Amino acid sequence: MSIKDQFTRHIHSLQNKICLGLEEVDGKAKFRSDVWERPGGGGGDSRVISGGDVFEKGGVNVSVVHGDLTQQAAQQLKVEGTSFFACGLSLVIHPFNPFVPTVHANWRYFELYNESGATVDAWFGGGTDLTPYYLVEEDVVHFHSMQKKCCEDFDTNFYPTFKKQCDNYFSNHHRGEERRGVGGIFFDHCRANEKHDLIFWKNFMEANGLIFLDGYSPIVNKRKHAPFSDYHKYWQEIRRGRYVEFNLLHDRGTLFGIKTNGRTESILMSLPPTVRFDYDYQPATGSEEEKLLQILKEPIQWV
């Protein structure tokens, strides 16, 4: 079976696993499936959850698309080719309780073809990152430990490299490099090279997808019944505003999707359910909210 068929099969199976795992954690809400077709070729399956006991809004989306590569898309990707295949799983989960962090993950594969249909380029990309509203150190350490362990099964350089790339990528540059969250790992343009072939990368992507629930669910289960005040919720909505700013101003995947006529609802399912934008909001000096901001401005090594 070709790499693209193997990986496509994997993300469909992973989608089922992750949805089931998250439904179990929520205990009430179920994902509903929205299957769609792409006019230019292929389609997807958007699984959406909302109004749960734990998860206020979330999506676990698979898309498997192919077709002609527009000039605009080629420019955006900085690649050459006349047609493409792309598949991926992308998820964002927004819990209601401000002590449960938001999580995002994505694993994707691209192939580019020339006019004769020969493959001229192929690469994987993806990552997983955590966005808490309040800093609970043991949770962040658990999350990073899981990612580190998974990386080390493949290459000891991966975690330090991908952790740094994650901090650099998920940053609101227009707010003095304030990070969206406490990071995780981020990697892109993972091509066959002298060290690793495409099969190796595929195996890493798959392994990283399969540990997702182990990295996230224990944190949710620990915090989902944490008592919180209106102010905790207020702060969560302020921070969700920053999530919106990052996704709409800086996120390459979102902007690529929007500019290349992707399926808007699936792309923007990442936006949080309720959000607040105050003018120049500043948390109190020495508060828990300010403590979070300091970490977002100067990321640290968690493991």
**Residue of 45, 139, 245, 289 interacting with a copy of itself (CB under 8 A):** 245
Q: From the CA atom positions of the chain, what is the Rg in Å?
A: 19
Q: Which is nearer to a copy of itself, 206 or 237 (CB)?
A: 237
The catalytically annotated residue of 104, 189, 196, 225 is 104
34 is a contact residue toward a copy of itself (CB under 8 A): yes
Distance CA 36, CA 42 (A): 9
For 4-24, the DSSP string reads: HHHHHHHHHHHHHHHHHHHHH
Q: 298: helix, coil or strand?
A: coil
Q: Which residues are within 8 A (CB) of 30 and not within 5 positions of it... i.e. 6 or more apart?
A: 23, 49
Q: Which residues pair with 64 in a beta bridge?
A: 43, 87
The pair of three-digit structure tokens given for residue 204, joined into one six-digit string: 């890493």
Restricted to residues 47-106, the positions that interact with a copy of itself (CB under 8 A) are 48, 50, 57, 59
Q: Which is nearer to a copy of itself, 245 or 289 (CB)?
A: 245
Distance CA 177, CA 89 (A): 27
Restricted to residues 201-240, the positions that interact with a copy of itself (CB under 8 A) are 237
CA-based nearest residue to 199, from 65, 11, 1: 1
Q: Which residues are within 8 A (CB) of 286 and not within 5 positions of it... i.e. 6 or more apart?
A: none
37 is a contact residue toward a copy of itself (CB under 8 A): no
Distance CA 3, CA 8 (A): 8
CA angle 154, 158, 160 (to 5 degrees): 145
Q: Which is nearer to a copy of itself, 174 or 189 (CB)?
A: 174
Restricted to residues 272-301, the positions that interact with a copy of itself (CB under 8 A) are 272-280
Q: Which is nearer to a copy of itself, 3 or 271 (CB)?
A: 271
Q: Which is nearer to a copy of itself, 203 or 260 (CB)?
A: 260
Distance CA 22, CA 60 (A): 10
Residues binding a copy of itself: number (CB under 8 A)? 31
Closest distance to a copy of itself from the beta carbon of 35 (Å): 13
152 is a contact residue toward a copy of itself (CB under 8 A): no
Q: Which is nearer to a copy of itself, 56 or 289 (CB)?
A: 56
Closest distance to a copy of itself from the beta carbon of 41 (Å): 20
Query: Is 142 known to be catalytic?
Result: no
Q: Which residues are within 8 A (CB) of 70 and not within 5 positions of it... i.e. 6 or more apart?
A: 260
Stretch that binds a copy of itself, among 73-81, 130-138, 160-168, 259-267 (CB under 8 A): 259-267
Restricted to residues 159-178, the positions that interact with a copy of itself (CB under 8 A) are 174-175
By CB under 8 A, name the binding residues for a copy of itself: 34, 46, 48, 50, 57, 59, 174-175, 237, 241, 244-245, 248-249, 255, 258, 261, 264-265, 268-269, 271-280
Question: What positions carry a catalytic annotation?
Answer: 104
